[in-house]
Structure 1
C-alpha cells in the first residue's frame, strides 16, 4: 500500500502543477474559428504589428483554434475559392492576402472582417468597411461586461447594389464598398471627410447597415458597431447567424453557445479532480 500512496501523491503533485500551468496560461486568449459555410474557406489572420498569418484550410463544418496573447490586436477573415499548389502558391477569388497559403499582406477587399483589440477591456467588431464576401459573427464567452454578439446575419451578395457587385462566371461572389469602387474622399472618409462630423452614412453604407445592423457599415459607424468585453475568449463563425448554436471541440473541451451564452464543457480532467479526495482518504485508511 505504501507504493500505492507514493503513486497517488505523485499524481496529486502532477495535477497541482498542471492546474498552476493552466492558471498561468489564462493570460492567453483563444479564437475558435468555425466554418459553418457549405464551401471550404481559408481563414486569414493578421496581427496589427505582423501581417504574416493564415495558412489554414477549413472544410465545411470544421473548426480550428488560434491562440493569442492578452494584448493581441488584429483581424480574422475568410478567403474563398482558393487554389494552392503543393508549394503553397496560388490565388483566391476573395480575401487574398498575397499569393501564398500563408498571408504576406493584409486582406484585399471586398472582405468581411472580424476585428479585435485585446486588453483589460477588449474591443471587437465585424467590419464591412472593406466590403462583404461572407457572413461572419463573433461571440464572446466567459467574459464580463457587455460581451454581446457582433456580426452580420444577412448575405450582402444577395442584396448588393448592382454597381458594387463583384462577379465570377456570372455569379455574385462579393459586394464591394463604395470607397473601393469610386475611390472618392467622401465615400472613403478621408481628406475633409476624415472625421465623424463630415463623414456621414451614404446610401451605400445604409444598404449594408440594413442587412447587417450589428456590423460596421462605414468608417465612423462606432456607436452601433463596437462591442466591449473583459477577459473573454471568442468564437468567430463564418456563415453562422448571431442566434445560431455553434460548437467546437478542442483540447478536451466542447465549446457551445446556448441561449444563456457560450458554455465551456470540460472533459476528462474534472473526473480526476473529483476522484483525488476519495483516493487520499483511502490512502490514509490503509
Structure 2
C-alpha cells in the first residue's frame, strides 16, 4: 500500500512544509520597555529599549500574530498584568492579547505557496511598528508600517489608557464587528486607514492590507517604534 496515498491532504501538506522555517527578529526601539508577545510560536519576552528577540517559526503556521504589551508588571513566576495587550496575565502568551494592541499578523506557506503578512488595527492601536521581510522582493513582498501618532489623534470615544481602542470592542454590533456577514468601512475605520494606509482598518479590509512573499525566500523583522 502507498503510505502517502492514505494520508489526508492537509497532513500531506504539513509533511512537505515541516522542514521550512522563517526566522523572525522582534526589536524594541521605543524609549520605554515593551513586553513582546508571539502566538502560537514564541510566547513572550521583555524587551528594554534596543533589545531584540529572535524566534524560528515553522512553515505551515497560520493565524499567527506578534504584538507589543505596555506598562506590564510580572512576578518571578511570570504572572501579572499589562495595561495594553495583556494575554490572560501571563508573561508567556498562549492566548491572544486584550485590545487595544497593534498586530503584526502572518501565515507561513499559505495559499499558492506564499507567506502572507499584514499589520492590523482591527484590535486597535497601542505601539507603532513596522513588519518587513529581511529579503524583500517586488510588488507585495515589502515592508508595511503603522508609525503615525494614532494614540495622540485617537477619537475621544475610542481613547483608553495606553492606546486607541477599536470600535467593535467599544460599541459592538455588526457595523463594527462584521461577524454576521459582509460589512464596509466606517468613519472610525477611515480614521485608522488615513493614518496607516498599509494596515487593516476593519475586519474585511483585505484588498489593500495583505502582503506576501514566496515561502522560504525570506525571514522577517518586526520593529516597535521604528
Counterparts of 1:32 and 1:55, CA distance in 2: 13
Aligned pairs for 1:94-109 (under 5 A) are: 94-109=84-99
Q: What is the TM-score of this pair, normalised by structure 1?
A: 0.68
Counterparts of 1:165 and 1:85, CA distance in 2: 29
What is the DSSP-based 3-state SS (H/G/I as helix, E as strand, rest coil) of the residue aligned with 1:225?
A: coil
Counterparts of 2:84 and 2:100, CA distance in 1: 7
| Long gaps (5+) in structure 1 | 1-24, 168-172, 241-286
Q: Which has the higher helix share?
A: 1
The question of whether the paired residues in 1 share the 8 Å contact of 2:100 and 2:163 is answered with yes
The answer for the alignment partner of 2:223 in structure 1 is: 237
Q: In terms of Rg, which structure is larger?
A: 1
The question of whether the paired residues in 2 share the 8 Å contact of 1:128 and 1:215 is answered with yes
Query: Aligned pairs, how many?
Result: 202
Aligned pairs for 1:1-286 (under 5 A) are: 27-47=20-40, 53-73=42-62, 74-119=64-109, 120-142=113-135, 144-145=137-138, 146-167=140-161, 173-191=162-180, 194-195=181-182, 199-230=183-214, 231-240=217-226
Q: With CA pairs under 8 Å and 6+ residues apart, which has the higher RCO, 1 or 2?
A: 2
Q: What is the TM-score of this pair, normalised by structure 2?
A: 0.85
Cα deviation, residue 144, structure 1: 4.3
Counterparts of 1:63 and 1:36, CA distance in 2: 9
Cα deviation, residue 99, structure 1: 1.4
The question of whether the paired residues in 1 share the 8 Å contact of 2:136 and 2:142 is answered with no
The answer for the alignment partner of 2:11 in structure 1 is: none
Give CA deviations for 1:158-179 in whole Å, capped at 9, x if unaligned: 1100010002xxxxx1001111
Give CA deviations for 1:117-159 in whole Å, capped at 9, x if unaligned: 1112011100000100111111112254531111202021011
Counterparts of 2:210 and 2:44, CA distance in 1: 28
Cα RMSD (Å) of the superposition? Answer: 1.6
The answer for the alignment partner of 1:264 in structure 2 is: none
